[in-house]
Amino acid sequence: PLIKDVMVPVATIKVGFSVYEAAKKIIEDRFNHLPVVDEDKRLVGIVTSWDVSKALALSKDGDLAPIMTRNVITVSPEDPVDLAVRLLEKHNISALPVIDKDRKVLGIVTGEGLSKLISRGL
Ligand code: SAM
């Protein structure tokens, strides 16, 4: 299967929002991973519940931009699923935003989602 067969929609947050707003969105939308986008909806970073916890532990409850990961590992819809598996393993992460040529966020592939796929025998 290809990434487009297994990706799911994901909520994003605009850069300029706060750590607090990211925390609220993660809880409301029940996602662990929140891709961060600019005004043109292009991917500029990612924050996870781990990043938000770390920011609060260090008393950095301000802008999202300084705490987000800027070097985001991504896949495209036409990539094979086994590339996603390799990237998750190699970088010790649990999700990959799926982006198009303009870096617009199309969805997300998570380790959890891939486990479900494998358990169904794909
Ligand atoms: N295993 C946990 C996980 O997968 O979230 C924690 C370890 S992981 C190295 C935590 C860091 O990875 C966070 O700072 C997060 O922003 C970053 N991260 C998560 N997904 C990412 C991705 N697709 N590309 C780059 N960094 C990512």
Instruction: Give the mean pLDDT per block of 10 residues along the chain (122 residues).
Output: 93 96 94 95 97 90 92 98 96 97 97 86 68
Q: Which of 7, 47, 48 to mutate to test the pocket of ligand 1 (most atoms within 8 A of CB)?
A: 48
CB-count burial class (<10 Å; 0-12, 13-18, 19+) for 64: buried
Interatomic CA distance for residues 23 and 5, integer angstroms: 29
pLDDT for 121: 74
Hey, whose CA ends up nearest to atom 8 of ligand 1?
A: 93
pLDDT for 113: 87
Q: Give the distance (Å) from ligand 1 centre to CA of residue 46.
A: 8
Phi, psi of 10, rounded to the nearest 5 degrees: -140, 145
pLDDT for 122: 62
Domains and CATH numbers, the chain: 3-119 (3.10.580.10)
Specify whether the CB–CB gap between 98 and 110 falls below 8 A: no
Hey, whose CA ends up nearest to atom 25 of ligand 1?
A: 72
pLDDT for 120: 80
Q: Give the distance (Å) from ligand 1 centre to CA of residue 61.
A: 19
